Amino acid sequence: MTRRKKLKKPSELLNLYGQKLNLGIEKKLSPVSFELNLSYRSPRVAHISGYIVFRTGWVLEFDEIITQERIEIRKLKYRYHVMDKRKKLIFRYDNVPHFPKIRTHPHHKHTKNKVLESKAPGLLEVVEEIELLIIAQPTPPSTG
């Protein structure tokens, strides 16, 4: 007789984190549409992924691997990739350890021409940064 291990219930804290992100995105004015997926790798490790489309045609693709440690959420890996409607990079935050000389290693920000030091942002902080960039863009002259 084969014994099967009972799958433990996924962390409620990780689930609440996903709900908080979902509500935070819904409250923003710039996103036209979005998709947020939460899948569990184990009861205390989850993968959050998805995209947000902004009214300018810009797209934010995101991935986070998060874990619950006691009563806190810790982000193990992240990637927030922002591109314009032609799919050209605007900026990307990630923590892939491929720039060891950067003081904030492994955290960094890619721009069109360089890699910058950065702290690990959260998804909603990145959305706010995008919204500020959208607001700062000059509006095209009206044709009327």
Number of domain units in the chain: 1
Q: What mean pLDDT is predicted for residues 38-57?
A: 94
46 in any annotated domain: yes
Is the confidence at residue 64, as pLDDT, over 90? Answer: yes
Rounded Cα distance, 123 and 61, in Å:
10
Tokens for 36, please give them. 């947020």
119 in any annotated domain: yes
Q: What is the pLDDT of residue 110?
A: 97
Q: What is the pLDDT of residue 8?
A: 62
- List, for residues 14-43, the tens digit of each pLDDT value: 999 999 999 999 888 778 999 999 999 999
121 in any annotated domain: yes
Residue 138 binned pLDDT confidence (cut-offs 50, 70, 90) = confident
The residue ranking higher by pLDDT, 30 or 75, is 75
Is the confidence at residue 113, as pLDDT, over 70? Answer: yes
Tokens for 18, please give them. 């996903």
Average pLDDT, the chain: 89
106 in any annotated domain: yes
Q: What mean pLDDT is predicted for residues 55-82?
A: 95
Q: What is the pLDDT of residue 28?
A: 85
80 in any annotated domain: yes
Rounded Cα distance, 119 and 125, in Å:
11
Q: What mean pLDDT is predicted for residues 58-78?
A: 95
Furthest C-alpha separation in the chain:
79
Structural domain range at position 24: 12-135
Is the confidence at residue 52, as pLDDT, over 70? Answer: yes
* DSSP-derived 3-state class of residue 5: coil
Residue 80 near residue 68 (C-beta atoms within 8 A): no
Is the confidence at residue 7, as pLDDT, over 50? Answer: no
CA distances for 116 relative to 7, 37, 88, angstroms? 42, 29, 18
2 in any annotated domain: no
5 in any annotated domain: no
Q: What mean pLDDT is predicted for residues 94-104?
A: 94
Residue 80, burial from CB neighbour count under 10 angstroms (0-12, 13-18, 19+): buried
Token pair 């890699």 is found at: 115
Tokens for 116, please give them. 């910058």
Instruction: Name the phi and psi angles at 85, rounded to 5.
Output: -70, -15
143 in any annotated domain: no
Residue 46, burial from CB neighbour count under 10 angstroms (0-12, 13-18, 19+): buried
